[in-house]
Structure 1
Amino acid sequence: MAAQLIAQAKRSVGERTAVEEAKAYLKRLIEEFERVTTMLEEMEKDIEALLSEIPMAAQLRSIKGLEKIFTAAILAGTGDLRQYAHGRQVLRKAGLNLAESTSGKRKGRVILSKRG
């Protein structure tokens, strides 16, 4: 079956005029990918160096699953975490106002309120 498919593909009509252009385009895409990858690696090194200067960063990095990019994003958005008395203040600053829908008879689940 595969041999028949290959034989048919060799005889089929296809666009053969733009092969060199397609190869050049693919080469440019690979070069761009490598350039962007190199830039990202350099940025990660810079972020790592900056995080090593921030005392709170080591504590945040000890949280399982919280990598250096997320640690940097948290610190960039909140500043020094010691200025907050409670974690809810950080959530509110991020626009995440948590609320619990409860009544006297039932306990609801925690959701994001629409006021946050």
Structure 2
Amino acid sequence: MSSQDYLQEEKIYDQACESVKKGLHERQLEVLGIGLSHRWEDLFRNLGRKAEAREAMEALYREACVPDRKLPSARKGIVSTFHLARIIAETGPLSDFANYRKVMRFAGLNLCERQSGTYRGKTRISKKGRPLLRKVLKLTVLPLVKKNGVYGDYYKKKTEVDKMPGTKAMTVIARHFLKMLYGVYKNGAGFDKKRMFTCESQFQKAA
């Protein structure tokens, strides 16, 4: 259910309340009541369809994990099966990408600098890849930037200490998550919170 649908339902409810206040004819109130009832039915019907679609995507992802055993499993506090399914649905087989830079470019999250003669512009993401993949990635990491989330402290540092705008910080985290996901796939290992902010050499020394 989109935000527009919710706003529409709220508008209908407000109209019904105003009708009572203004003392509209009983038949008019009945018509408004029927309209409101239909809206609620549509809401629950769409919620049901959404749940069914979610279950179907999770089932498809689990099926895809059978021939491709490198596909990572969900990890509580990091990523759900549903979000993994959505990401892989956008990227296609991760084995198609030679390195993480390729998948980053595919997502339009690769960094580029605008240049013209001696002019050097700010470094930004290219946004030339799949916009829906970028959206899915940001939705995936959104709950992870909360206070107790795995990216909570990182997001706080970026926004409060480095004074980075929230949207830019989310893009940085989306890039980090995609790179990590590709690394997990290539290594055939599961998600490990201890390794998320540690390079390979540092992790080996600590192990």
TM-score (norm 2): 0.39
Do the aligned partners of 2:108 and 2:126 also contact (CA within 8 Å) in 1? no
Question: Which one has the largest radius of gyration?
Answer: 1
Corresponding position: 1:31 with 2:41: yes
Gaps of 5+ in 1: 1-12, 102-108
Specify the alignment match of 1:10 in structure 2.
Answer: none
What is the CA–CA distance in structure 2 between the aligned matches of 1:63 and 1:99, rounded to whole Å?
34
| Pairwise CA distance, 1:79 | 1.3
- Could you tell me how far apart the structure 2 residues matched to 1:58 and 1:64 are? 18
Query: Counting helix residues as a fraction of each chain, which structure ranks higher?
Result: 2
Deviations 1:61-100 (A, max 9, x none): 3384433443222212221112223211111112222247
Q: Cα RMSD between the aligned structures? A: 3.1
4+ long deviations beyond 6 Å:
none
Greater RCO structure (CA 8 Å; 6+ sep): 2
**Which structure 2 residue ranges, 5 or more long, are not aligned?**
1-20, 115-121, 130-207
Identity fraction in percent: 29
Rate the CA distance shift 1:67–1:110 in 2: closer, same or farther, 3 A: farther
Count of paired positions: 98
User: Mean Cα displacement is larger for which, 61-70 or 39-48?
Assistant: 61-70
1:38-53 maps to which residues of 2 (within 5 A)?
A: 38-53=48-63
